[in-house]
């Protein structure tokens, strides 16, 4: 068996990080989750009559754990999230507890979509979703600066438009 080629995209990390603004975006999303879960949990722990006196302790522990998650996870996620588009493939790495790495040949790309919700607009970021002819599903790059996302969508569209075939 031959030694792996050092230029093989499957063996190297994608080169580009997402926008540093993604950290704030992910933090706000996590804090919203903390509020949606934590507030009712704390209210129930103190407001429901007849509960044992120890019930607020695990409720507070859950809220503290959620707050730690909200402040730690975005930084870990930022260090892990990477992306790269080459003339032949799109390569992503994402996650924070489990890390997923995906490489898709551009010849398999069917659609390139960009999305930006209201909260993303506040942070000046977008997501790109590249749908391929793959059972693994689409590849998403979340947290790109607006300008970078628009440029990448344009480049991917141009590259895919030049290829022949139906991406199946």
Q: Mind listing the pLDDT tens digit for each residue in 33-54? A: 999 999 999 998 888 888 888 8
Strand order from edge to edge, sheet including 139-145: 109-115, 125-132, 139-145
Helix (H) or strand (E) holding 1: none
Tell me the C-alpha distance between 142 and 126, whole Å: 7
- In sequence order, what DSSP letters do the residues of 68-130 get, joined into one string? HHHHHHHHHHHHH-EEEE-SSEEEEEEESSSEEEEEEEGGGEEEEEEE--HHHHHHTEEEEEE
Helix (H) or strand (E) holding 14: none
* Cα end-to-end span (Å), the chain: 30
> Is residue 165 pLDDT above 50, yes or no?
yes
Helix (H) or strand (E) holding 144: strand 139-145
> Is residue 62 pLDDT above 90, yes or no?
yes
Q: Could you tell me the maximum CA-CA distance found in the chain, to the nearest angstrom? A: 70
pTM, whole model, 2 decimals?
0.83
> Is residue 148 pLDDT above 50, yes or no?
yes
Of 8, 3, 1, 16, give the one whose Cα is nearest residue 92: 16
Name the one residue in this structure whose structure tokens are 């540093």: 20
- Residue 4 confidence class, pLDDT cut points 50, 70, 90: very low
Question: 81-130 pLDDT, tens per residue?
Answer: 999 998 888 999 998 889 999 998 888 888 999 999 999 999 999 999 99
pLDDT of residue 73: 95
């Amino acid at each position: 068996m031959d030694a792996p080629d050092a230029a093989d995209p499957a063996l190297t990390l994608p080169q580009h990080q997402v926008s540093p603004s993604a950290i704030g975006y992910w933090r706000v999303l996590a804090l919203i989750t903390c509020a949606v879960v934590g507030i009712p949990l704390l209210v129930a722990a103190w407001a429901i009559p007849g509960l044992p006196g120890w019930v607020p302790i695990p409720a507070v522990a859950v809220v503290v754990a959620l707050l730690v998650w909200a402040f730690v996870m975005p930084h870990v996620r930022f260090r892990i999230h990477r992306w790269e588009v080459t003339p032949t493939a799109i390569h992503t790495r994402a996650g924070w507890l489990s890390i997923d790495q995906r490489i898709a040949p551009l010849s398999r790309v069917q659609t390139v979509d960009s999305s930006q919700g209201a909260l993303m607009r506040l942070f000046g970021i977008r997501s790109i979703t590249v749908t391929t002819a793959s059972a693994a599903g689409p590849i998403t790059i979340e947290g790109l600066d607006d300008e970078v996302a628009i440029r990448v969508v344009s480049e991917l569209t141009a590259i895919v438009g030049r290829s022949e075939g139906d991406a199946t």
